[in-house]
């Protein structure tokens, strides 16, 4: 496949286009399907190495044939084929139980194809790898007997190609494999991303649930930082939910188109009968689609539940911060009202100052002198600052030290060293 792309990109010297072909396939292919066509499939299996993002080998994945995993059968109505051809999907398995839940993407930039764990930061596209097999009976003997059904079967399944005639898009396997790869690529990629998001949401909801009972002891600036983190997580989750919902809709449309295609399929040249229905709940060809849609819907339901928890914590954090700011504003309002009231009294007594001798006249003159003195209001402001430091000074000091403005660790060391009774 890479050689074909390399030759198309550099017809004169295909070797020079090898790297460009690898990069193009890695960035654009949704997946690669390996189709094995043989008399019997029991002896076939495909093994690929599994790696992590640091190219450390984790194990092996083996794609094996399963007799009960036939997707469809096909036979000619004329009865020339001795037995019906069976199309199977090879089931992948890993050699270590810890790797079973991971999602894997195909890497083409090495000497041999390898599977790597999804998702990876350096990749924007995650092509998947699938193996299928067609057991068509003893076609070689039929060719030696000059029978035509092997050629007709191949043309019907894979199309006809020639110098002036490209691969036909009406070939049966073209539509089946393309739709299967599209569905698998979308579901595998989003399954890996949503499972990481679910894990992150679980951690965050657990963390904020533990902090909920002690929210009054958390400094205000820490609450504001946590609130911004929660709002960022909510925005990230909403974006992910939008992508998953869009993917579910795409898979449902793909399912409907696939089902319509299977029900209206017919061969243009030969008379073939395709049996893809079954007695199970879903036909084997469509079962993977139903499973993928149900899996993504399950992710959406879980994420929406955790999102409600995060939004609830966000509302509680915001309410506490607003209440804290309201209290500070209320204190400032009280001080402002007191100062305005004292200024009005000062003006009132100042206008009534007299030279008369008497208790009330002396008291009025004294109040006018005190209330019109700047030192009085300075003392009021100092008292207000003392009150503020008493109630909020501890929080401000925590914020001061948290910003590394002062080397707290040196102060702590000096305190524990100089005072024998100090506790670390």
What DSSP designation does 354 have? -
pLDDT of residue 99: 86
Bridge pairing between strands 91-94 and 45-51: unpaired
Query: What six digits make up the tokens of 21?
Result: 């072909």
- Report the C-alpha gap between 29 and 127 in whole angstroms: 6
pTM above 0.75, yes or no: no
pLDDT of residue 406: 40
pLDDT of residue 123: 62
- Report the C-alpha gap between 306 and 312 in whole angstroms: 10
Q: Is 21 exposed, middle or buried (0-12, 13-18, 19+ CB in 10 A)?
A: buried
Q: Is 285 exposed, middle or buried (0-12, 13-18, 19+ CB in 10 A)?
A: buried
pLDDT of residue 296: 94
Q: In what order do the strands lie in the sheet with 70-76?
A: 31-38, 128-135, 85-89, 70-76, 272-275
Query: What six digits make up the tokens of 159?
Result: 């199309």
The whole-number mean pLDDT for each consecutive block of 10 residues of the chain, a chain of 424 residues, reads 82 79 85 89 91 88 88 84 88 86 85 83 80 86 81 78 50 84 90 92 90 79 86 93 93 89 66 80 88 94 93 87 70 66 63 57 66 70 68 56 44 40 36
Strands (E), 267-337: 272-275
């Amino acid at each position: 496949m890479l050689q074909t792309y390399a030759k198309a990109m550099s017809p004169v010297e295909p070797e020079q286009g090898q790297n460009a072909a690898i990069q193009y396939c890695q960035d654009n292919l949704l997946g690669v399907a390996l189709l094995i066509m043989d008399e019997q499939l029991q002896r076939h299996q495909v093994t690929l190495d599994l790696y992590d993002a640091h190219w450390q080998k984790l194990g092996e994945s083996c794609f094996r044939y399963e007799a009960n995993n036939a997707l469809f059968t096909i036979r000619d109505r004329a009865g020339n084929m001795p037995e019906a051809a069976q199309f199977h999907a090879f089931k992948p398995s890993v050699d270590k139980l810890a790797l079973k839940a991971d999602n894997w993407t195909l890497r083409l930039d090495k000497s041999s194809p390898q599977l790597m764990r999804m998702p990876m930061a350096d990749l924007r596209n995650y092509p998947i790898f699938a193996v299928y097999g067609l057991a068509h009976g003893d076609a070689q003997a039929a060719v030696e007997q000059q029978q035509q059904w092997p050629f007709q079967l191949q043309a019907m399944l894979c199309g006809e190609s020639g110098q002036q005639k490209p691969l036909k898009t009406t070939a049966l396997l073209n539509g089946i494999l393309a739709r299967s790869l599209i569905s698998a690529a979308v579901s595998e990629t989003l399954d890996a991303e949503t499972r990481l998001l679910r894990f992150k949401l679980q951690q965050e909801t657990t963390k904020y649930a533990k902090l909920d009972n002690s929210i009054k002891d958390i400094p205000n600036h820490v609450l504001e930082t946590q609130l911004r983190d929660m709002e960022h997580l909510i925005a990230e989750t909403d974006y992910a939910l939008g992508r998953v919902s869009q993917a579910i809709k795409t898979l449902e449309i793909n399912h409907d188109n696939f089902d319509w295609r299977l029900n209206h399929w017919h061969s243009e040249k030969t008379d073939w009968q395709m049996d893809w229905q079954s007695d199970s709940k879903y036909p084997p060809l469509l079962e993977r689609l139903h499973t993928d849609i149900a899996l993504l819907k399950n992710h959406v339901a879980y994420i929406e539940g955790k999102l409600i928890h995060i939004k609830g914590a966000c509302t509680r954090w915001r309410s506490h911060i607003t209440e804290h700011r309201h209290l500070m504003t209320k204190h400032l309002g009280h001080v402002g009202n007191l100062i305005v009231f004292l200024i009005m009294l000062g003006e009132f007594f100042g206008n009534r100052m007299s030279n008369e001798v008497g208790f009330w006249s002396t008291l009025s003159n004294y109040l006018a002198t005190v209330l019109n003195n700047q030192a009085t209001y300075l003392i009021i402001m100092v008292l207000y600052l003392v009150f503020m430091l008493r109630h909020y000074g501890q929080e401000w000091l925590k914020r001061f030290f948290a910003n590394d403005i002062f080397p707290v660790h040196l102060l702590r060391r000096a305190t524990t060293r100089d005072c024998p009774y100090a506790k670390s």
